[in-house]
Structure 1
């Protein structure tokens, strides 16, 4: 069908208008308000615990610690006790008396150590048994019945003691059995220690 001149005119005009509308950008509008943040939903249920992982390799052994001090919790020692001897040394060859040792149990008698020390007026300490040749005196001790410690003094020769007793105070030390020496399984022979070594080892005050 043939277009009339009027129809062709309006078609050209319409195309020009559309071309102008598409070639011109419009101004950017203002930014809109931020929307309201939604509420957080409820937490989901906790998942099941996963299986235990394989055990890791054992780490290297640490350095060995220093040797500790010997324990003293079960060691019993007395104060210095005034001598129980009250006899006249000019009239007897020997005498025995007793001091009470409440911690002296049958187990300590059989398996432990019972140490007894005597001290002179000059603060010289002797471990019993002790022989004092200059005084013609021999001192010893042994556990008695019950909780008694028997102290014995005798002349060295066959005559009377004849001189004042040298030892005027006594002290005992009770050590339970089963306290091994460091690095050894056998019990210690405490009779081989001096009084000073025993006092330092077990923290015994003078």
Structure 2
């Protein structure tokens, strides 16, 4: 299961050094997580190149993260950008520069519950690039 690319909307927190976009998804629940489900997050900007989250930009002192938060019967995915040195985030840091699109976010839900011989662990999935995850799961880019 995967989302479309979403334009950023700082609908949960919109501070000068920390911003959060919250996306609700009823598939992230106790059953999903107890059966080994995992959530992968991605963002893109600048020439439409996708990056796996978390992503730290040491040049601009920022970090982008994706955090699944679950409740008993539904969950949320929170996409964050944060200044790592306490300075105010600039428009270029938040939106990206050059490509004509603002930063966008996407998530992939991988249900658990069906162990496979030779299957990737959650940590191995997190190490894959966006293109590798799409290829492995037949997800159109």
User: TM-score range, shorter-chain basis?
Assistant: 0.7 to 0.9
1:118 aligns with 2:43: yes
Q: Any idea what the Cα deviations from partners look like across 1:83-125, whole Å, max 9, x if unmatched? A: 1237xx8x71112220122422323334211001001142111
Runs of 4 or more consecutive aligned structure 1 residues displaced over 6 Å after TM superposition = none
**Could you tell me which of 137, 142, 153 is aligned with 2:62?**
137
Is the Cα contact below 8 Å between 1:180 and 1:187 reproduced in 2? no
Aligned length: 128
Is the Cα contact below 8 Å between 2:20 and 2:80 reproduced in 1? yes
Is the Cα contact below 8 Å between 2:17 and 2:83 reproduced in 1? yes
Distance 1:118 1:102 in 2: 22
Normalised by the size of structure 1, how large is the TM-score?
0.54
Alpha-carbon shift at residue 134 of structure 1 (Å):
2.8
In proportion to residue count, which structure has more strand?
2
Alpha-carbon shift at residue 185 of structure 1 (Å):
7.0
Alpha-carbon shift at residue 169 of structure 1 (Å):
0.7
Distance 1:187 1:82 in 2: 30
Corresponding residue for residue 60 of structure 1: none
Q: Cα RMSD between the aligned structures?
A: 2.6
Q: Any idea what the Cα deviations from partners look like across 1:119-150, whole Å, max 9, x if unmatched? A: 11421111111112233321112112433111
Counterparts in 2 of 1:197 and 1:180: CA distance versus 1, 3 Å: farther
Normalised by the size of structure 2, how large is the TM-score?
0.76
Alpha-carbon shift at residue 196 of structure 1 (Å):
1.0
Is the Cα contact below 8 Å between 2:79 and 2:105 reproduced in 1? no
Distance 1:195 1:105 in 2: 24
**Could you tell me which of 85, 88, 98 is aligned with 2:10?**
85
1:159 aligns with 2:83: no
1:190 aligns with 2:125: yes
Counterparts in 2 of 1:186 and 1:196: CA distance versus 1, 3 Å: closer
